[in-house]
Chain A
């Protein structure tokens, strides 16, 4: 080893605490950023592999009357279509331990039923047989494991399928009793989501595969299509989504030419899209959060290296006296920083890419039954992260060294003159200053004496506190969405989906719903899917037309959106309510997120395009708070005016106890969406992001510890002489410690205060970044989160002080006083 490297090596050994703390900070930054990105990439790659293996559909074609065999052939010959596979998808009832559940049945088709122009015939959405065998005759069915588990059934048992309208059932199925032949899994359920149905309570509980011969209807309900070139694109990417939209338009054009029917992409299957969106959200968190890490890292590196250079003044002087050029001397310190940054960055990137995906993927595991795949390292992000680590430390070194190494050798070998004392601002306010005790005066002056360290500590503590507030706040927001939407916004207890209702039908249902002991109130509505758009783009929304607009507020809280971050119950103030009772203008009420996405405010116009292709320009009279999905509330008068017909409801809101049994059995009722159930469903979905929050929280805590430890240690080192002096004067160990701790605590408290405020903004920024189209995260931070964030920072400051107490006690008075400060 050359003397140069020997010197660096010994320097590292001699100052290993400092080296490790620099390394740790680089490590943490790289760990978080690489880990989160690795997770996102890993999730997408796992899905990509799974979709390819399953030969997942690109387009799903659906026709209310069904597709004929000729239609299937016609579609398989459309330009760009590689494969078209017809299927029957029917939702039915099954009784599981006496409870009626909805099961979605798929026709099990062998490869021979798939039409292909290229001749390659793999089944689309190939189901996977886990146990037993595939159904091979009319009365056979393969079910998912969950069904067997919950039903206490086994292969070979019989299952009876039913429908509210059994006459209709037998136009589809030859028989209603099936023998279970096997256990199967479907790629359509990879993401764990089961989707909605118009049957029963609106949720699909199970899926199953029925032998295709069991279907007696001459038509297919669906055709799954795979397009040419689809497999050349990463299956979970923006590029794929863009291509899918193009294919959809193309197919829609074809269908409207004769066959008719609807076209869906994977994006319409909420499960696939929300999985993709989850990875994107993860990535956006992965950009913003580490930024704060790196900022703090730069601050800490600056402080640490400043101290190091101060200590090494004499050494630098000697090198200079020996004739070394400034650059050569600088190189030693740059190398020191480079090694710590590089080592920390590399270890952090390596650990992060392996550890974080496992933690998060495990957490997502109960939501997504994605197969495990290799843990890829996101090279681009890793390189950027390691370079950032190295750069933040190295830049700090150059910044602090450059003036010192250019100094005169003789000057450098002389000790640096101590920084002169200065008066602080509050001394100019005698009212306060006179009241302060002697020690308080000393403390206040010392705090502001070392301005740089003061700001470093302040920023370090503030940064960590802000990260903690953000992490806790994210948890609060995510955890609150379901509660806010289904407690504070939605006040109805159930929404019943019905066929289009005549007056007689309405009366019939009303009687049923309002039976004694049941619903207290009901409101008939018409719900319509629409595309709401402005120049800013189009967004899928639901238009809800109540039979009486003035009664809407009894079922949905129409409140002015607010960005309050502390209030837990913001609806206590009645003047916040949008008063539709005095609302006379012929406009609609738009939910906040939709208004924001479209870039409109109350008073602006926008366009809605209905399912039949007609567009209408309407006026947004008011904006109301809402967290899940987009809604447009339209007065019935406007409905009649726009569509030229009287309102015929297709559903109703019910407040109070729901007469579920009676309603469900009614022929006019298609399904019931229970508020409690929808809330649980949403809670489950948002749980996954909570895990990410916990990972971030732990990281923020470690960062806080490292930063505080480093800064406190430097504080002690820098003031050894001063502390030795007061020890000589006869300050007890604890008094000496308090002399320093009082300052630490005041700065920590200030840092925490700044951090709590900064955290609100950081949290707001991150929330906006991680939001997806259909979901709005409330900007809420519970008081408890502030308490916890501040408390943890404070606790860490205390812990660090206790840890450094030994160093303080060990200060050798004799050695420290031999030289000038």
Chain B
């Protein structure tokens, strides 16, 4: 069943007198509880898709349905609530609060969400139960990204959106992160990963290819490969 539905989404950015069209009629669907990858070269507009889907940015035209809700119609305040309750974000550079420990970073998320998961349990799930009281600076890149994933998951979001989650990590560590994300989707989380790395597409249920602000193709993968078997 389709959970996310982009219909003819347009995003224009005004720069002085010029208008730059980042998304030029993007339409695709993403399935519930599946692992989807949006792939494309830099500047294709995939981050814009993620930002709009995550309620950080808004579309200029078209409709985006998440569940039975049209998120293009949300007010500023509603979008904040939407981010808080429905969305978990994971970034390339983790964006942890440096001054908070791993546990506290997760608590920061659970603090504002009424139906939050137990922060310690979530950190345990991503394999960091022994690093609860460490500050980000004391953690490796992979560990930091796990904290970021835990922070996103702690809110019990409907969508987990990841923007180049392995971009700043080495091969092995990246694999570990992808494994964690795949596990999450297997437990029922709807995961969307953005990447320019086509090598990881075999692990996804659905692959949306973006080029120059347009959808080039949507490919369904009936039998995703476990991350451990992927090499790039």
The answer to whether A and B belong to the same complex is: yes
Number of interface residues of A (CB under 8 A): 32
A418: chain B residues at CB < 8 Å are 98, 136-137
Could you show 17 A-B contacts with beta carbons less than 8 Å apart? A420-B135, A421-B101, A421-B137, A422-B99, A442-B99, A722-B98, A725-B95, A727-B80, A729-B84, A729-B112, A729-B151, A730-B81, A730-B83, A730-B155, A731-B84, A731-B112, A733-B80
The answer to whether residues A420 and B98 also contact, given A438-B111, A442-B108, A730-B80 and a CB cut-off of 8 A, is yes
A728-758, CB under 8 A of B: which get 1 and which 0?
A: 1111110100000000000000000000000
A721 at the interface (CB under 8 A from B): yes
Could you tell me the distance in whole angstroms from the C-beta of A254 to the nearest C-beta in chain B? 83
A774 at the interface (CB under 8 A from B): no
- On whether the beta carbons of A732 and B99 are closer than 8 Å, the reply is no
A817 at the interface (CB under 8 A from B): yes
Contacting residue for A421 out of B77, B89, B100, B155, CB 8 A? B100
- On whether the beta carbons of B98 and A735 are closer than 8 Å, the reply is no
- On whether the beta carbons of A421 and B136 are closer than 8 Å, the reply is yes
Q: How far is the CA of A285 from the CA of B99 in the complex (A)?
A: 45
The answer to whether residues A421 and B135 also contact, given A732-B77, A817-B91 and a CB cut-off of 8 A, is yes
B189-228, CB under 8 A of A: which get 1 and which 0?
A: 0000000000000000000000000000000000000000
- On whether the beta carbons of A420 and B137 are closer than 8 Å, the reply is yes
- On whether the beta carbons of B57 and A730 are closer than 8 Å, the reply is no
A413-429, CB under 8 A of B: which get 1 and which 0?
A: 00001111110000000
Could you tell me the distance in whole angstroms from the C-beta of A406 to the nearest C-beta in chain B? 25
Contacting residue for B99 out of A446, A724, A813, A819, CB 8 A? A446
B109 at the interface (CB under 8 A from A): yes
- On whether the beta carbons of B137 and A730 are closer than 8 Å, the reply is no
Known: A725-B95, A814-B56. 6 other contacts (CB 8 A): A418-B136, A419-B98, A726-B108, A728-B89, A729-B108, A730-B155
B134-166, CB under 8 A of A: which get 1 and which 0?
A: 011110000000000001000100000000000
The answer to whether residues A730 and B113 also contact, given A420-B98, A421-B137 and a CB cut-off of 8 A, is yes
A499 at the interface (CB under 8 A from B): no
A445 at the interface (CB under 8 A from B): yes
Q: How far is the CA of A439 from the CA of B99 in the complex (A)?
A: 13
Q: Select from chain B the residue with minimum beta-carbon distance to A421.
A: B135
- On whether the beta carbons of A445 and B100 are closer than 8 Å, the reply is yes
Q: Tally of A-B residue pairs with Cβ under 8 A?
A: 89
B93 at the interface (CB under 8 A from A): yes
- On whether the beta carbons of B111 and A439 are closer than 8 Å, the reply is yes
A307 at the interface (CB under 8 A from B): no
Q: Select from chain B the residue with minimum beta-carbon distance to A813.
A: B56
A358 at the interface (CB under 8 A from B): no
B74-117, CB under 8 A of A: which get 1 and which 0?
A: 00010011111101010101011111110010011101110000
Q: How far is the CA of A420 from the CA of B85 in the complex (A)?
A: 30
B151: chain A residues at CB < 8 Å are 729
Interface centre among A722, A728, A729, A819 (most CB of B within 10 A): A729
- The 3 tightest CB contacts between A and B, nearest first, are A730-B84, A420-B137, A421-B135
A441-480, CB under 8 A of B: which get 1 and which 0?
A: 1100110010000000000000000000000000000000
B98: chain A residues at CB < 8 Å are 418-421, 722, 821
A820 at the interface (CB under 8 A from B): yes
B30-56, CB under 8 A of A: which get 1 and which 0?
A: 000000000000000001000100101
Q: How far is the CA of A725 from the CA of B56 in the complex (A)?
A: 11
Contacting residue for A722 out of B57, B97, B155, CB 8 A? B97
Q: How far is the CA of A178 from the CA of B98 in the complex (A)?
A: 92
A733: chain B residues at CB < 8 Å are 80
Q: How far is the CA of A140 from the CA of B54 in the complex (A)?
A: 99
Q: How far is the CA of A727 from the CA of B55 in the complex (A)?
A: 11
- On whether the beta carbons of B104 and A449 are closer than 8 Å, the reply is no
The answer to whether residues A735 and B112 also contact, given A728-B83, A817-B95 and a CB cut-off of 8 A, is yes
Could you tell me the distance in whole angstroms from the C-beta of A295 to the nearest C-beta in chain B? 29
Q: Select from chain A the residue with minimum beta-carbon distance to B52.
A: A814
Could you tell me the distance in whole angstroms from the C-beta of B55 to the nearest C-beta in chain A? 9
Interface centre among B85, B112, B136 (most CB of A within 10 A): B112
Q: Select from chain A the residue with minimum beta-carbon distance to B94.
A: A820
Could you tell me the distance in whole angstroms from the C-beta of A326 to the nearest C-beta in chain B? 29
Contacting residue for A819 out of B51, B57, B93, B104, CB 8 A? B93
- On whether the beta carbons of A730 and B112 are closer than 8 Å, the reply is yes
The answer to whether residues A728 and B56 also contact, given A418-B137, A420-B137, A449-B99 and a CB cut-off of 8 A, is yes
Q: How far is the CA of A664 from the CA of B98 in the complex (A)?
A: 84
Q: How far is the CA of A420 from the CA of B101 in the complex (A)?
A: 10
Q: How far is the CA of A418 from the CA of B107 in the complex (A)?
A: 21
A441: chain B residues at CB < 8 Å are 104
A420: chain B residues at CB < 8 Å are 98, 135-138
Could you tell me the distance in whole angstroms from the C-beta of A391 to the nearest C-beta in chain B? 35
- On whether the beta carbons of B81 and A726 are closer than 8 Å, the reply is no
Q: How far is the CA of A819 from the CA of B57 in the complex (A)?
A: 17
B108: chain A residues at CB < 8 Å are 438, 442, 726, 729
B51: chain A residues at CB < 8 Å are 813-814
- On whether the beta carbons of B77 and A445 are closer than 8 Å, the reply is no
Q: Select from chain A the residue with minimum beta-carbon distance to B57.
A: A814
B111: chain A residues at CB < 8 Å are 438-439
Could you tell me the distance in whole angstroms from the C-beta of B157 to the nearest C-beta in chain A? 9
Interface centre among B89, B95, B107, B109 (most CB of A within 10 A): B95
A442: chain B residues at CB < 8 Å are 97, 99-100, 104, 108
B87: chain A residues at CB < 8 Å are 730
- On whether the beta carbons of A438 and B137 are closer than 8 Å, the reply is no
- On whether the beta carbons of A438 and B107 are closer than 8 Å, the reply is yes
